[in-house]
Amino acid sequence: MSAHAHAPGHHHHHHDSDAQAIAPTWKDSKRYAWLLGIVVPALPIAAFALVEVTGLGLFWWFGPMFVFGFMPLLDTVFGTDPNNPPDNVIKWLEEDRYYRWCTYLFIPMQYISLVFACWVWGTQDIGVVQSIGLAFTVGSVNGIAIANAHELGHKREAIEKWLAKVALAPTWYGHFFVEHNRGHHVRVSTPEDPASSRLGENFYEFLPRTIIGSFKSSWKLEKLRFDRMEKSPWTLKNDIVNAWAISLVVWGVLLAVFGIDILPYMLIQAFFGFSLLEVVNYLEHYGLLRGKREDGRYERCAPEHSWNSNIVASNVFLYHLQRHSDHHAHPLRRYQALRNWQGAPELPAGYATMIVAAYLPPVWKRVMDHRVVEHYGGDVTKANIHPRARRRIMKKWNAHPATPTSAA
């Protein structure tokens, strides 16, 4: 399975002396910036503090303000970061446990915030609108936690796999752990992948398709795994069952402690949280299609099958998720070592800004459709086209062929 071919540099302890020699000469300019990732799960506490200081209930909505206002602003201010770690430090960089702790520490912070929010909903009378605002703020945390779970879920170590499920538990999205690694990475940028959006498909069409499709696919993958062992999939060894069991325990405890009144807000934060993951999925592969080889199978996933973005701020908050092209080429590579690829299709802005565009389909269409067509040298037939939009798209792009920007 080519999706899981091991990237070079995964064999441990070949040339430790080299690593020691190289280490001091190259500095990761973002080394301490990764700690900012731990700021994100503190959003509900920050919201509470802002409300206390200013007296404005508006600040219960601080999570969405941060994600859709502050992050795009930081992206604009700090711009891009095309710097790559040189090949000879990647091994050393991956072994540096400091980076692992940056992802681990996110999770206790995430849970402290969740419990804190439940305490507010259950005991403080802040009114329905402001409680909904807090739900969106908690959802912002648990949505970004999925980026953290994404990083952890790819790793081989059992502890990291478990932590990934714990990070996914508040949104009931544990099945993502199975589908993402064994489904999405195999079928990415093909019409068969529920998490790859199609040219002409707006976010609101994509959302139900990916939610339902990803769940069905993950269950099918686990069922197949148990069928091969001639066992029933209804067991705690099933990665979906055990991940959802964690959700059940987390929600059960919180509802038991803080009362049934917190349930509507828990549902809102879960929905907003996983829809944040899915809007990111939406913009990662929009319209991109892997070609077919002679034997009818898809070509290997290459950097040009993911939209890339090197905008610094979003990358730091999302553990380099935006260096998505390298991630699909090397799924096991740790976030701090992901590289920027020349020639990968580039999004015009960072994820935070692009999410806002995706929520507004006319804006998205204006910004992205022509970029997909240009990526294919003006030949729209090479794109992954939404079946319902096929006629409209063909008419639009074939009647007025885009001026070929390259010799493609």
Express each pLDDT in 203-259 by its tens digit: 999 999 999 999 999 999 999 999 999 999 999 999 999 999 999 999 999 999 999
Domain residue spans of the chain: 2-399
CB proximity list for 207: less than 8 A, separation 6 or greater: 275, 278, 282
pLDDT of residue 314: 87
Percentage of the chain modeled with pLDDT above 90? 71
Give the DSSP H/E element, type plus range, for residue 359: helix 351-359
What's the average model confidence in pLDDT over 126-130?
97
Task: State the Cα–Cα distance between residues 160 and 101, nearest whole angstrom.
Answer: 11
Residue 258 is predicted with a pLDDT of 98
pTM assigned to the model: 0.89
β partners of residue 199? 385
Burial class of residue 132, CB neighbours in 10 A (0-12, 13-18, 19+)? middle
Count of C-beta atoms within a 10 Å radius of residue 43: 26
Instruction: State how far Cα 273 lies from the chain centre.
Output: 11
Output the CA–CA distances (angstroms, integers) from residue 350 to 63, 73, 79, 91, 163, in the order listed.
18, 10, 9, 28, 27
CA 28 to chain centre: 23
Q: How far apart are CA 311 and CA 285, in angstroms?
A: 17
List the structure tokens of 56: 């404005």
- Position of tokens 């700021």? 39
> What are the b/e assignments for 312-351, b being 16+ CB within 10 Å?
bbbbbbbbbbbbbbbbbbbbebbbbbbbbbeebbbbebbb
Mean pLDDT of the chain, nearest integer: 90
281 neighbors 327 (Cβ within 8 angstroms): no
The Cα–Cα gap between 260 and 154 comes to 35
Q: Give the pLDDT confidence score for residue 24 in this predicted structure.
A: 54
- Summarised one tens digit per residue, pLDDT across range 355-376 is 999 999 999 999 999 999 999 9
- Secondary structure (DSSP) of 267-311: HHHHHHHHHHHHHHHHHHSTT--PPB-TTSPBPPP-GGGS-B--B
Instruction: Tell me the residue type at 138.
Output: V
Q: The tokens of 246 are what? A: 């964690």
Using one digit for the tens of pLDDT, what is the confidence trace for 153-184? 888 888 999 999 999 999 999 999 899 999 99
pLDDT tier at 407, thresholds 50, 70, 90: very low
CA distance 278 to 270: 12
- pLDDT above 50: residue 45: yes
Cβ contact 329:302 at 8 Å: yes
DSSP state for residue 233 in the 8-state scheme: S
pLDDT grade, residue 14 (50/70/90)?
very low
